[in-house]
Amino acid sequence: MRIILKPRNNEVEFPRTIFDVEPLSTSDHLISHLTLKYNTIDATTLVLYYKGRPLPFEEELFKLNIHEDEEIEVGLKEKSCCCLL
**CATH code for position 70:** 3.10.20.90
Residue 82 lies in a domain: no
Domain that holds residue 55: 2-76
Distance from the Cα of residue 26 to its chain's centroid? 9
Confirm if 66 and 3 have CB atoms less than 8 A apart: yes
Total domains present in the chain = 1
Domain presence at residue 68: yes
Per-residue pLDDT of the chain (85 residues), as tens digits, is: 999 999 998 888 899 999 999 999 999 999 999 999 988 788 888 999 999 999 998 999 999 999 999 999 999 987 666 655 5
Residue 31 domain-assigned (yes or no): yes
14 in a structural domain: yes
Flag whether 58 is in a domain.
Answer: yes
Residue 57 and residue 42: Cα distance in Å, rounded?
15
85: in domain: no
> What is the model's pTM?
0.84
